[in-house]
């Protein structure tokens, strides 16, 4: 089949499909425009090829698309075009594909912490209302030369690589007080500690709780020491954590050791044990796992994994592999939009079968919606413009349903 990228723009694409295409192909940013975006908008990571563009449905739903421009972006037919003061479009070769809006630059980015670092080095906005921090970007598996092949956590953001939890709490408090941060996600590279780094996430959440009340999600690796896991999760709950994601990345037992030389040694049974403990403490619609699509797995193993997790009560956040510079898989192709749409639709059907609602979580990446189109497909479907929600339950935490001019927080 001829690659759609070689053809002209397809004007029948829905907004949801457009987001998926942007994420699959990357969006070329002209040099001068990158500097302007960095200075004026929420784009502090242009240097590492990461930024968020927002699409807008005719009904004023904001659909954030977090984009990782790896090497493939240089050959992408998609590129950003400035059409007027503060007006941007993405073009497909020589024709307009969609309007996009970069998010405004929050004021807190220009505040400095006690140690003199600008706060965007501690935590950043990755979507409307969604603030995120990677507490420690120095993953132990990378230190010992055994990183997950798709990962470039050290290049995640133009940030302090090892952040001070207390300074993260200051940045979060500033974002919440400014009114831009409505929920937080905290993650870390795996650390060489008994809890694999969960300890520092809990410590950070506790320091945040001492300053502001804000729904928070923690993302971490499975922890086999159940008493330790239980105690850390309870402490997290007391610190105001509402949502958790214990990330499996790949369900295929045969593939896991190849893609993740260290993390892949953790048996899926340990994930199941961790998820069950998470469900006991955080409850329905607040426990997730991430699976990366396009790292060598087949559809069947992926969907079997989604179903196994859903049967327990865990939703799988499907994220397209966006080959990042600095990862071993930096030249691997991204999954096509057609494959992503088919998997999103089938995963959403599995969620529904088990009574799970991806639009109900209080915090984190699924609520934020930028990294994946799974929530967009659940709410609107992939085929048509989102004239109305497909999911009658999808009314819980709507950061992106807006009336009037484009709004950046819920």
Residue 290 CB, shortest distance to ligand SF4, in Å, is: 9
Residue 247 CB, shortest distance to ligand SF4, in Å, is: 8
Residue 146 CB, shortest distance to ligand SF4, in Å, is: 8
280-309 residues in contact with ligand SF4 (CB under 6 A) are none
Match 């929050």 to its residue by tokens.
Answer: 106
- H or E, element range at 21: helix 15-25
Q: Which is nearer to ligand SF4, 143 or 395 (CB)?
A: 143
Q: CA end-to-end span of the chain, whole Å? A: 42
Residue 189 CB, shortest distance to ligand SF4, in Å, is: 4
Structure-derived torsion over alpha carbons of residues 353, 358, 360, 366, reported in degrees to the nearest 10: 160
Taking CB under 6 A as the criterion, the residue among 23, 48, 133, 190 binding ligand SF4 is: 190
CA 339 from chain center: how many Å?
19
Check if the beta carbon of residue 172 is closer than 8 Å to that of residue 125. Answer: no
Contact mark string toward ligand SF4, 194..233, x via CB under 6 A: ----------------------------------------
Pairing status of strand 87-92 against strand 95-102: antiparallel
10-49 residues in contact with ligand SF4 (CB under 6 A) are none
Contact mark string toward ligand SF4, 118..147, x via CB under 6 A: ---------------------x-xx----x
DSSP 364: S
Q: Does 189 bind ligand SF4 (CB under 6 A)?
A: yes
Q: Which is nearer to ligand SF4, 123 or 327 (CB)?
A: 327
- 17, 178, 206 from 174: Cα distances, Å: 35, 6, 16
Residue 238 CB, shortest distance to ligand SF4, in Å, is: 26
Among residues 170, 234, 156, the alpha carbon closest in space to that of 198 is found at 234
Count of beta carbons in the 10 Å neighbourhood of residue 291: 24
Q: Which is nearer to ligand SF4, 263 or 367 (CB)?
A: 263
Among residues 312, 316, 246, 247, the alpha carbon closest in space to that of 284 is found at 312
Three-state DSSP state, 292? strand
Q: Which is nearer to ligand SF4, 25 or 263 (CB)?
A: 263
Among residues 400, 409, 395, the alpha carbon closest in space to that of 56 is found at 400
Q: Which two tokens stand for residue 171?
A: 């940045």
Give the interface size with ligand SF4 as a residue count (CB under 6 A).
11
Count of beta carbons in the 10 Å neighbourhood of residue 110: 10
Check if the beta carbon of residue 66 is closer than 8 Å to that of residue 48. Answer: no
CA 96 from chain center: how many Å?
27
Taking CB under 6 A as the criterion, the residue among 148, 174, 302, 348 binding ligand SF4 is: 148
Q: Does 51 bind ligand SF4 (CB under 6 A)?
A: no
Contact mark string toward ligand SF4, 253..282, x via CB under 6 A: -------x--x-------------------
Contacts of 142 (CB under 8 A, 6+ apart): 151, 153, 154, 189
**How many helices (H) does the chain have, and how many strands (E)?**
12, 12
Check if the beta carbon of residue 201 is closer than 8 Å to that of residue 236. Answer: yes
Residue 374 CB, shortest distance to ligand SF4, in Å, is: 19
Q: Does 151 bind ligand SF4 (CB under 6 A)?
A: yes
Residue 217 CB, shortest distance to ligand SF4, in Å, is: 16
Q: Which is nearer to ligand SF4, 153 or 343 (CB)?
A: 153
Q: Which is nearer to ligand SF4, 62 or 260 (CB)?
A: 260
Check if the beta carbon of residue 123 is closer than 8 Å to that of residue 132. Answer: yes
Q: Which is nearer to ligand SF4, 92 or 271 (CB)?
A: 271
Check if the beta carbon of residue 259 is closer than 8 Å to that of residue 301. Answer: no
Q: Which is nearer to ligand SF4, 62 or 153 (CB)?
A: 153
Q: Which is nearer to ligand SF4, 121 or 256 (CB)?
A: 256
Q: Binding segment for ligand SF4 among 93-101, 148-156, 200-208, 365-373 (CB under 6 A)?
A: 148-156
Q: Which is nearer to ligand SF4, 148 or 341 (CB)?
A: 148
Match 């990228």 to its residue by tokens.
Answer: 5
Check if the beta carbon of residue 189 is closer than 8 Å to that of residue 197. Answer: yes
Residue 24 CB, shortest distance to ligand SF4, in Å, is: 21
Residues that bind ligand SF4 (CB under 6 A): 139, 141-142, 147-148, 151, 153, 189-190, 260, 263
């Amino acid at each position: 089949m001829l690659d759609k990228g070689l053809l002209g723009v397809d004007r029948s694409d829905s907004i949801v499909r457009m987001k998926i295409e942007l994420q699959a192909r990357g969006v070329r940013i002209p040099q001068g425009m990158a500097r302007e975006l960095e200075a004026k908008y929420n784009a502090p990571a242009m240097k590492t090829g990461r930024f968020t563009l927002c699409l807008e449905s005719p009904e004023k739903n904001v659909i954030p698309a977090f984009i990782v421009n790896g090497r493939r972006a240089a050959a992408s037919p998609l590129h950003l075009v400035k059409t007027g003061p503060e007006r941007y479009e993405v073009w497909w070769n020589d024709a307009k594909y969609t309007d996009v809006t970069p998010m405004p630059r929050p004021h807190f980015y220009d505040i400095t912490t006690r140690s003199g670092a600008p706060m965007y080095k501690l935590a950043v906005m990755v979507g409307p209302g969604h603030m995120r921090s990677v507490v420690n970007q120095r993953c132990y598996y990378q230190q010992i030369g055994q990183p997950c092949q798709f990962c470039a956590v050290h290049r995640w953001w133009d940030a302090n690589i090892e952040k001070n939890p207390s300074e993260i709490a200051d940045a979060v408090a500033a974002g919440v007080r400014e009114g831009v941060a409505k929920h937080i996600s905290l993650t870390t590279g795996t650390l060489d500690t008994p809890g694999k780094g969960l300890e520092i996430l809990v410590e950070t959440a506790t320091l945040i709780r001492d300053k502001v009340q804000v729904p928070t999600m923690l993302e971490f690796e499975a922890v086999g020491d159940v008493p330790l896991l239980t105690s850390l999760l309870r402490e997290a709950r007391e610190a105001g954590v509402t949502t958790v994601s214990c990330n499996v990345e790949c369900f295929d037992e045969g593939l896991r050791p190849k893609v993740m030389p260290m993390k892949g040694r953790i048996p899926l049974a340990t994930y199941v044990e961790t998820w069950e403990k998470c469900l006991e403490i955080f409850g329905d619609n607040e426990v997730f796992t991430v699976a990366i699509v396009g790292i060598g797995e087949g559809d069947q193993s992926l969907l079997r994994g989604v179903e196994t997790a859903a049967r327990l009560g865990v939703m799988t956040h499907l994220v397209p592999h966006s080959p990042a510079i600095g990862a071993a898989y930096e030249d691997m192709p991204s999954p096509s939009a057609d494959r992503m749409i088919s998997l999103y639709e089938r995963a959403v059907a599995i969620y529904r079968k088990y009574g799970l609602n991806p639009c109900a979580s209080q915090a984190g990446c699924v609520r934020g919606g930028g990294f994946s189109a799974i929530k967009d497909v659940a709410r609107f479907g992939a085929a048509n413009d989102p004239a109305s929600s497909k999911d009658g339950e999808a009314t819980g935490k709507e950061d992106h349903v807006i009336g009037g001019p484009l709004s950046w927080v819920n």
